[in-house]
Structure 1
C-alpha cells in the first residue's frame, strides 16, 4: 500500500536490494515492456535493484506494481461499450439502426444490448511519452505527509485518506511526520482525529489547539463532519475519554465565549454530547455553555465591526480590524469603497500587513490587480466538501486605479519580506507555462485523480487528431439500475451553442464526433466514450467544448460503488483498443454529493484543457441531461474560462525576487520550476508547505 500511494503521488517506489541476487534478465525485460504498455518506464536505479531479486521477489514486485498502475489508470476494468467497434461503427451506422437499438435497450430497462461481432482492431499507432518511475526513499515518502500537515490550504479527500493510512500503518514514524507548526486549523482537526483513532499520545495535540473553534473542528472531525464548518454536523456519541479530552482542550484555550457564540447552535448540540456538567473541574467551559444555553449577552468582534460599518464609523472599524489583520485584509475592498480618503485605509493596512497570512495576501494582490477590469460575473468557490461554484453579476463600483495599484504594491512588498525569511534558492529557472496553473489555495473538495490539478488550471493538449473521453460506473442501490450519461457540448467563441454529442445525439457528421452508445444499467460495470475530431470542430467555428456527467437515474455520485471519468489523446482513433491506458492523460474519480459534474472544458483556440471538476445543482425541468441544463453549463463555462486567480508563475517569481536569482538557462539552474521538470504544478504537497 505504501508503494501504491507513493506511485500515485510521486511516480516513485521504495525498493531494497536483495541479499541473494539471482539475475532475471529476461523477466526484467518482459516486466519493463509490460509497464511500457501502460505508459510507464522503469528508471535505471530501479532496474539495478531488480537485478538483485530472486524469481519470486521479481514476480511479487511485478504483480503488485502492475496492478497498482492498472488501478490508477482505470485499466483494471473491462470496457464494453454498446458499440464494440466504436468509433467507426457509430459513424457508419444508419439513423434507423441507432434509433432501434436505443428503443429496444430502453424498453428492456437496460437488459438488452445490440449484439455485434467485435472486429479485430489494428495495433495502436499512436506515439506516447512514457512516464519514468523513479527510486524513492522512506524519508522522502514521509516528507509528503509532513508537507500536507504543514499546508496553509485545505487538503483533498485523497490527501486525508493517505494520511489516515500512514498514521494507522506507520505509528513509529508519526512524530517524524507531525511538523512543529500547523498553520491551517482544519489540519489541526484532522491531526486530532488521527491521534485519537490510533490511540496515540494526546500530548502530541495540545500545542496546536489554541481556540474554542479549534476544539469545535476537532469534535466535527471525530464525528466525520465538515471541518471547514460550512455545513452542520450530527455529532456522534463520544467516548468518555474523548469527552474529557475535548473539555480539557476547551478549558485550556484563552477567551472562549466569543468564539463559541459564533457557532452558538452547534456548541449547544455539542454540549448535549459532551455533558460538561458532569466534569465540575472545567469551570470555564461550564460557564460558557451556561451562557449559550441561557442566551446571555456575549459581545463579539465581528458584531462590533459590523456595527461600526453600519453606522459609517469607518475609522472605528479600521481600529478594530487592525487587531485582526487577516479580517482587515478580507474587508479591504469594502473599506476602500466606503472611506472618503482611501489612501488612509492603505496606510492603516500597511501597518499590519506583515501579520497577514501570505496565502491571503496573494489573493488580495490578485484581486486588486484585476479589480477594475470589465468582468460580467463574479465567481466564488464556497467552503465545503462539495465542489460548488457560485456565479453572480458583477455590480461592484470601481475603485481609483492608483489606489488599486497601491494595494497591489503593498501586498507584493509584504510577501517579498515574508519570503526573505526562508532559505535562499540560488539560481532558479522559471517556466512561463506555469502562468496557466492556479495556486492551490483549496483542495478540500477536489476529487482523486492521476494528476492532481487545481480548478481553473489550463493543461496543454497533446498533439493529436482527437480527444477521447471515457466514463465508467457501477450500479448503486437503485433497483432499476443506474444510468450515468457522458455528454459533450460545443460552443463558438461567444458561447453560442453549436452542437452536442450525448445519448440523445450519438454523432455529428459535421464535427466528426460521436458517442459509443447509452447504457442504462451497470450491475457488472458499464462504460461510455465520446470521440471529438479537434480540427473538424475548429473548422466549423467551435472553440469551447464542455464535458459533463449526468446521473439520469437520480443517485448522487457519492452513492455509487464506483464512478470515474478521464480523457485520452488519440492520433489514430480506429487503431488500438477503445481504451488504451498508455494514451490516458488524466483520470478523475467522481464522488461528489451531486448529480451533475462538469469535469473539464476544451479551449480549441488556446489548445488547452481547462480543469474544472465542478458540481452543478440539479434543476432540470424534465430530465437530468445536457439539454435541460444548458443555462447552468453556459454560465459555469463563461465563468471558468475567464477565471482570474493567482498563478504559480507569479508565486514563484515573488520567491525568486525575495531569495533567489532568475536564471534563463535551465542547465545552469540550482532549482527548476516547470511543467515537467523540477518542482511541477503536480507537486502540490511541496507547493502548499514551502511556497505559500
Structure 2
C-alpha cells in the first residue's frame, strides 16, 4: 500500500485520504495539519484549502503518520531526500581560478611526505590522485554553517497538493490513465503500471500500446483470465514480462522456467493467433523465439500444431515472408504503386512511409488518395506524428535528428527531395480534419498560456517521470536571475565519477566555451568542484548569472568519466533551480527547484535540456531528453561539443507539435459547452466537482484514439 500511496502523491500531486476516520474531537488535527503545511512549504509545496480542512478533522496521530509519508514522497520528488554537499564550501562564492586550484593542491601534496612520494613516481603526473582532490573536505553541517538561510521570494516555486479520494479510487484513476495511454510509456511508468495492475481489477476498455497490454496480461495470466493477444509478438512480450525481462523487446530476456500451467496458457495463446501472415513477424525476434521454445517445450503439445509453426520459422525450418519485406521489395524495384496497394491493408504503415511514397511515386495524387483513406483508420498518434513531420518539410533545417526509445540520438544532413507545397497543404488539411473529428468534447476550455508551448507527448519512452518534466521539444519560460544546475549520484558497487558540465555557444552554435572540472569559472558561471567518489553520494552544481551571460545558448550535460552507467548506479538524478539575484542560501534549496528527474539510459553523456536567450533578452528552456553514446570512460565536454551542438541544433530548429495546435482544433470544434476543462502546467486549487484538468503528466490522455 505504501508504494501505491507514493505513486499517487508523486504522479498526481493528490493526497489519498478518502474514508480515513475523523478524530473523536474534531479540530484536534488542525495543529498537526498546519505543521505539515509549514514543512511542505520549506520544499516548495503547500496543502490546498480543501486538504487542510480535511486534515484538520482527522485524529492527531493520523495526521502525523500521513504527514510523515507525504513529506517523504515530496522530498524525494524534489530531490531533497539526500544531503547535497559541495566540494567548494562557499560555492558559488570564492571559486578559485582553475590553475590556481591545481597549483595549491599540488603544493599541499608536496608538503605531505606520503603524498609527495606518490607524486614523485615515474611517469605522467595523475592530478586526480592528489590526496585532497575529488573528496569532500568538510561535512554537510560545515556547509550549512557557511551559508545564510534562503530568503523566500514571491517567485519561488509553490506547488499545490490537492485533497484526493480513497487510495483505491486514486490508484484506479492513475492505472486507467497509464494502461489506456495512446503513447508508449517510459520504463518507470511501465513499472508503475505493473504495481497498479496488481492492485486494480478494473481495466480500461481499450489498451492500444502493446507494452501496456503485456503488463496487463501478466496479471491476467496469474489470475487465470483470458489473455489480450492478437499477434504472436504479444505472446513473446508476455513471456518476457513474466520472466522479469523487457516487454519492449529492446533488450534480450533470459527466460525463466515456466510452470506447466503457464506453458499451456502461452502455447494456447500462440495457437489462437497464428496465421500465415502473422508468422512473418517471427523472424524479427527469431533468437528470442528460439530461447522461448526451449522453455515452452512445444513438442509436448502436438495438438497445438499452429503454435509449433512459430518455432519452426524461428529455426529457419519454415519460410515466412513478412509484410514489411514485401513492401521493401516493391519499393527497391521501383514499384511504388504496388507498395501503395500493399500498404492499403496497413493504414498506419502507409502513413509512416507517406513522405517516401510521395517522393518516389509516379502519381502523387494516388498516394494522397490512399493516405486520405488510411487516415480514417490509423491511430491518432500516427496522424499527429505525420502532421508534425509535414510541417517541418516546408522549412529547410541544418540536419535531421533521430532519437530511439532510450534517448540515444544521431543527426544526418537532410538530402531528401522537396515535396510540392500544394501537395503538403492538401495532406495537412486532411490530417487536421481527421484529428479534429476524433477530439473529445471538452466543453468550455480554460487554458494556461504557459502550457501552450508544451510539446504533445507522442512518445514517453525517453522521458523519466519527475518534477516539472515536459516532453521533448517543449518550451518553458525561465524567470529567474540565477540558474543553477545540479546532479546527484550514489554508486552501487564501484567507484563512480560523474561530471556536471555546461557548454556555451553563440547564436550560430559556434565559438564554444565551457564550465566543468577542467574550467571552474568564466565571466558569468561558476562550478562547485569535482567529486570522484560517490560511496555516500555526491553532488555537483553549476551556477549561471543569466543577466551577465555572453552566450545565448547554454547546454548542461552530465558526463560519465568513470564507473557505473546511469541505469546501474544506486541513484542518479539531474535538475535545475531558479533564484532571484539577492537570494543566497545553500547550494541546494528545494523550494527553488523547477525540474528534477532521474538519469538513466545507455548513453554515457546526458543532455536533459538547453537554455536559449530570445531576441527580447528573455530566456527559455527547450527539453531534449537525449543521451550521447560517448566513450567507455573519460568523457569530457570538450570531447563531445561538436556532436552536442549538432544534435541540440536539430532539436531547437525543429517545429514540434504543441498544445497550442490541439487547443486551436478544440476551440473550433467546441466553441461553447456546458462543462469546463482546464489545461494547465499545474491544476488550479480547489476546483469544483466535475471540472476536468489536464496537466503535463496527463497530456497523453488528449491524444485521440
TM-score, structure 2 as length reference: 0.88
Alignment correspondent of 1:41: 46
Task: Give the CA deviation at 1:484.
Answer: 1.0
Q: 2: CA distance between counterparts of 1:37 and 1:431?
A: 26
Question: CA 1:267 to 1:45, structure 2 compared with 1: closer, same or farther past 3 Å?
Answer: same
Alignment correspondent of 1:150: 180
Task: Give the 3-state SS of the residue equivalent to 2:94 in structure 1.
Answer: helix
Q: 2: CA distance between counterparts of 1:447 and 1:432?
A: 25
Alignment correspondent of 2:100: 96
Q: Which of 437, 442, 446 is equivalent to 1:425? A: 442
Alignment correspondent of 1:569: 578
Q: 2: CA distance between counterparts of 1:595 and 1:431?
A: 37
Across the aligned residues of Structure 1 and Structure 2, the Cα RMSD in angstroms comes to 2.5
Alignment correspondent of 1:7: 9
Task: Give the CA deviation at 1:492.
Answer: 1.0
| Deviation readout 1:169-227 (Å, 9 max, x if unpaired) | x3xxx232x1111111121112122444xx32332xx2x21111211222222334443
Q: Is 1:555 aligned with 2:568?
A: no
Q: Comparing 343-352 with 483-492, which one deviates more in the overlay?
A: 343-352
Task: Give the CA deviation at 1:313.
Answer: 2.1
Q: Which of 495, 511, 518 is equivalent to 2:509? A: 495
Q: Which of 151, 161, 182 is equivalent to 1:133? A: 161
Task: Give the CA deviation at 1:582.
Answer: 0.7
Alignment correspondent of 1:359: 381
Q: Which of 146, 150, 156 is equivalent to 1:124? A: 150
Q: Confirm or deny: 8 A CA contact 2:498 2:561 kept in the other structure.
A: yes
Task: Give the CA deviation at 1:442.
Answer: 1.3
Task: Give the 3-state SS of the residue equivalent to 2:161 in structure 1.
Answer: strand
Written as runs of structure 1 = structure 2, the 5 A alignment for 1:130-529 is 130-138=158-166, 139-168=169-198, 170=199, 174-176=200-202, 178-196=203-221, 199-203=222-226, 206=227, 208-255=228-275, 256-383=278-405, 386-419=406-439, 422=440, 424-462=441-479, 464-478=480-494, 481-508=495-522, 510-511=523-524, 513-529=525-541
Task: Give the 3-state SS of the residue equivalent to 2:299 in structure 1.
Answer: helix
Q: Confirm or deny: 8 A CA contact 1:492 1:544 kept in the other structure.
A: yes
Number of aligned residue pairs: give it. Answer: 662
Q: Confirm or deny: 8 A CA contact 1:563 1:589 kept in the other structure.
A: yes
Q: Which of 87, 90, 109 is equivalent to 1:85? A: 90
Q: Is 1:618 aligned with 2:630?
A: yes
Task: Give the 3-state SS of the residue equivalent to 1:352 in structure 2.
Answer: helix
Q: Confirm or deny: 8 A CA contact 1:87 1:574 kept in the other structure.
A: no
Q: Confirm or deny: 8 A CA contact 2:157 2:594 kept in the other structure.
A: no
Task: Give the CA deviation at 1:418.
Answer: 2.7
Task: Give the CA deviation at 1:574.
Answer: 5.8
Q: 2: CA distance between counterparts of 1:395 and 1:450?
A: 39
Alignment correspondent of 2:34: 29
| Deviation readout 1:287-341 (Å, 9 max, x if unpaired) | 3433443433323322222222222222222211111111111111111111122
Q: 2: CA distance between counterparts of 1:6 and 1:517?
A: 37
Question: CA 1:637 to 1:99, structure 2 compared with 1: closer, same or farther past 3 Å?
Answer: farther
Alignment correspondent of 2:677: 671
Task: Give the CA deviation at 1:247.
Answer: 0.9
Q: Comparing 593-602 with 442-451, which one deviates more in the overlay?
A: 442-451
Q: 1: CA distance between counterparts of 2:667 and 2:642?
A: 43
Task: Give the 3-state SS of the residue equivalent to 2:253 in structure 1.
Answer: coil
Question: CA 1:643 to 1:242, structure 2 compared with 1: closer, same or farther past 3 Å?
Answer: farther
Q: Confirm or deny: 8 A CA contact 2:611 2:622 kept in the other structure.
A: yes
Alignment correspondent of 2:120: none
Task: Give the CA deviation at 1:533.
Answer: 0.3
Q: 1: CA distance between counterparts of 2:22 and 2:296?
A: 54
Q: Confirm or deny: 8 A CA contact 2:612 2:620 kept in the other structure.
A: yes
Q: Confirm or deny: 8 A CA contact 2:444 2:675 kept in the other structure.
A: yes
Q: 2: CA distance between counterparts of 1:262 and 1:80?
A: 49
| Deviation readout 1:339-365 (Å, 9 max, x if unpaired) | 122112111222332011111011112
Question: CA 1:47 to 1:233, structure 2 compared with 1: closer, same or farther past 3 Å?
Answer: same
Task: Give the CA deviation at 1:264.
Answer: 3.1
Q: 1: CA distance between counterparts of 2:133 and 2:672?
A: 60
Question: CA 1:258 to 1:108, structure 2 compared with 1: closer, same or farther past 3 Å?
Answer: same
Q: Confirm or deny: 8 A CA contact 1:156 1:443 kept in the other structure.
A: yes
Task: Give the 3-state SS of the residue equivalent to 2:417 in structure 1.
Answer: coil
Question: CA 1:34 to 1:330, structure 2 compared with 1: closer, same or farther past 3 Å?
Answer: same
| Deviation readout 1:102-136 (Å, 9 max, x if unpaired) | 88563238575445965543332241242111101
Q: Confirm or deny: 8 A CA contact 1:437 1:681 kept in the other structure.
A: no
Q: 2: CA distance between counterparts of 1:393 and 1:225?
A: 36
Q: Confirm or deny: 8 A CA contact 1:595 1:617 kept in the other structure.
A: yes
Q: Confirm or deny: 8 A CA contact 2:8 2:170 kept in the other structure.
A: no
Q: Is 1:598 aligned with 2:598?
A: no
| Deviation readout 1:237-283 (Å, 9 max, x if unpaired) | 33322221211111111514222244333322322222111112211
Q: Confirm or deny: 8 A CA contact 1:8 1:72 kept in the other structure.
A: yes
Alignment correspondent of 2:671: 661
| Consecutive unaligned residues in structure 1, runs of 5 or more | none
Q: Confirm or deny: 8 A CA contact 1:472 1:564 kept in the other structure.
A: yes
Task: Give the 3-state SS of the residue equivalent to 1:497 in structure 2.
Answer: coil
Task: Give the CA deviation at 1:477.
Answer: 2.3
Q: 1: CA distance between counterparts of 2:136 and 2:170?
A: 50
Q: 2: CA distance between counterparts of 1:248 and 1:553?
A: 48
Task: Give the 3-state SS of the residue equivalent to 1:564 in structure 2.
Answer: strand
Task: Give the 3-state SS of the residue equivalent to 1:89 in structure 2.
Answer: coil
Task: Give the 3-state SS of the residue equivalent to 1:243 in structure 2.
Answer: helix
Question: CA 1:269 to 1:25, structure 2 compared with 1: closer, same or farther past 3 Å?
Answer: closer
Alignment correspondent of 2:652: 641
| Deviation readout 1:477-530 (Å, 9 max, x if unpaired) | 22xx2211100111111111342111111111x22x101111111211111111
